[in-house]
Amino acid sequence: PCRDTARALGHSPASLVPCRIMPVRWSRYNPSYLEPEVKKESYEKPLEELSEEEREQMELKTVRPIKAAPPTLSSSVFSDPMISKFTNMMMKSGNKVLARSLMSQTLEAIKRKQLEKYHKAPENEKETIECNPYVIFHQALKNCQPIIGLSNITRGGKTYQVPVPLTDNRKRFLAMKWLITECRENKHRRTMMPEKLSQELLLAFNNEGPVIKKKHVLHKMAEANRAYAHFRWW
Amino acid sequence: LRLICTTTAVQRKNAGASGPEKYTEAFIKKQIEEFNLGKRHLANMMGEDPETFTQEDIDRAIAYLFPSGLFDKQARPMMKHPTEVFPEQRKIQWGEDGRPFHFLFYTGKQSYYSLMHETYEKFLNVQKHQDQLIAQDLPLQKEKRNLAGSRWLSKIELEEMLLEKLSDDDYSRFIQLLEKLVALPCADIEENYIRKFSKEVPVQLQKVVIEPLQYDEQGVAFSTGEGKRKTARATAVVYDNGTGKITVNGTDILHYFPVLQDREQLLFPFQFLGRIGKHDMVCTVSGGGRSAQAGAIRLASAKALRSFVTEKEVEFMRQAGLLTVDPRVKERKKPGQEGPRRKFTWKKR
pLDDT for position B215: 85
| CB nearest B150 (choices: A9, A12, A67) | A12
Between residues A75 and A20, which one has the greater pLDDT?
Answer: A75
Q: Measured between alpha carbons, how far is B98 from B321 in angstroms, rounded to an integer?
A: 61
Q: Is residue A50 part of a domain?
A: no
**Residue range A60-100, pLDDT digits in tens:** 888 888 999 999 988 888 888 999 999 999 999 999 999 99
Give first-to-last CA distance, chain B, whole Å: 33
pLDDT for position B150: 79
Amino acid of residue B234: A
pTM of the model: 0.75
| Contact state of A69 with B320 under an 8 Å Cβ cutoff | yes
B-chain residue closest to A60, CA distance: B148
Q: Measured between alpha carbons, how far is B236 from B272 in angstroms, rounded to an integer?
A: 18
Q: Measured between alpha carbons, how far is B166 from A22 in angstroms, rounded to an integer?
A: 28
CB B194 within 8 A of CB B187: yes
Query: Average model confidence (pLDDT) for chain A?
Result: 85
CB B70 within 8 A of CB B76: yes
Task: For residue A41, give the 3-state DSSP assignment.
Answer: helix
User: Please, what are the domains in chain B?
Assistant: 25-85 (no CATH), 126-200 (no CATH), 214-320 (3.30.230.10)
What CATH number should be reported for the domain holding residue A225?
1.10.455.10
Give contacts of B267 with chain A, Cβ < 8 Å: 74, 76
Q: Measured between alpha carbons, how far is A176 from A141 in angstroms, rounded to an integer?
A: 7
pLDDT at A178 > cutoff 70: yes
CA distances from A95 to A88, A99, A102, A195 (A): 9, 7, 11, 20
For every residue of B123-154, DSSP letters joined together read HHHHHHHHHHHHHTTPPPP-PPP-STTEEEPP
Strands B246-248 and B280-286, by their bridges, are parallel
Quick one: residue B273, left, alpha or beta (phi over 0 = left, psi -120 to 50 = alpha)?
A: alpha
Amino acid of residue B72: D
Closest CA–CA distance from residue A99 to any residue of chain B (Å): 12
Task: For residue B88, give the 3-state DSSP assignment.
Answer: coil
Domains identified in chain A, total number:
1
Q: Is residue A11 part of a domain?
A: no
Name the pLDDT band for A8 (thresholds 50, 70, 90). Answer: very low
pLDDT for position B74: 87
pLDDT for position B153: 87
Q: Measured between alpha carbons, how far is B205 from B238 in angstroms, rounded to an integer?
A: 22
Beta bridge partners of B246: B281
pLDDT at A12 > cutoff 60: no
Task: For residue B158, give the 3-state DSSP assignment.
Answer: helix
**Residue range B144-180, pLDDT digits in tens:** 666 667 788 888 889 888 888 889 999 999 999 998 9
**Residue range B77-128, pLDDT digits in tens:** 988 898 888 877 777 777 788 888 889 988 888 899 999 999 999 999 999 9
| CB nearest B272 (choices: A62, A64, A75) | A75
**Residue range A102-157, pLDDT digits in tens:** 999 999 999 999 999 999 998 888 888 888 999 999 999 999 999 999 999 998 99
Q: Is residue A205 part of a domain?
A: yes
| Contact state of A13 with B261 under an 8 Å Cβ cutoff | no
Q: What are phi and psi of A135, to 5 degrees?
A: -60, -45
Q: Which of B316, B307, B296 is CA-nearest to residue A39?
A: B316
Burial class (CB in 10 A: 0-12, 13-18, 19+), B130: middle
Q: Is residue A189 part of a domain?
A: yes
Give contacts of B151 with chain A, Cβ < 8 Å: 10-12
Give contacts of B264 with chain A, Cβ < 8 Å: 74, 76, 78-79
Q: Which of B90, B122, B89, B109 is CA-nearest to residue B195?
A: B122
CB B283 within 8 A of CB B251: no
Give contacts of B10 with chain A, Cβ < 8 Å: 8-9
pLDDT along chain B (349 residues), means of 10: 49 54 78 92 90 89 91 90 80 80 88 93 91 83 68 87 88 92 83 85 72 84 92 93 90 93 93 90 93 95 91 89 91 92 92
Q: Which helix (H) or strand (E) holds B233?
A: strand B232-239
Q: Which of A187, A174, A196, A177 is CA-nearest to residue A110?
A: A196
Give contacts of A27 with chain B, Cβ < 8 Å: 4
Q: How many CB atoms lie within 10 A of CB B331?
A: 12
CA distances from A94 to A100, A186, B291, B331 (A): 11, 24, 12, 16
Q: Measured between alpha carbons, how far is B132 from B120 in angstroms, rounded to an integer?
A: 18
Q: Is residue A128 part of a domain?
A: yes
Range(s) of the domain holding residue A115: 77-231
Q: Is residue A206 part of a domain?
A: yes
pLDDT for position A22: 43
Q: Compute CA A153 distance to the chain's CA centroid, rounded to the nearest angstrom.
A: 27
CB-based contacts of B330: which residues, under 8 Å, 6+ apart? Answer: B230, B340
Q: Is residue A69 part of a domain?
A: no
pLDDT for position A6: 46
Amino acid of residue B164: E
| Contact state of A2 with B271 under an 8 Å Cβ cutoff | no
Task: For residue A149, give the 3-state DSSP assignment.
Answer: strand
**Least reliable range by pLDDT among A35-49, A73-87, A168-182, B164-178:** A35-49
Beta bridge partners of A165: A148
Closest CA–CA distance from residue B322 to any residue of chain A (Å): 6
Q: Is residue A24 part of a domain?
A: no
| Contact state of B3 with A28 under an 8 Å Cβ cutoff | no
Q: Measured between alpha carbons, how far is A160 from A150 in angstroms, rounded to an integer?
A: 9
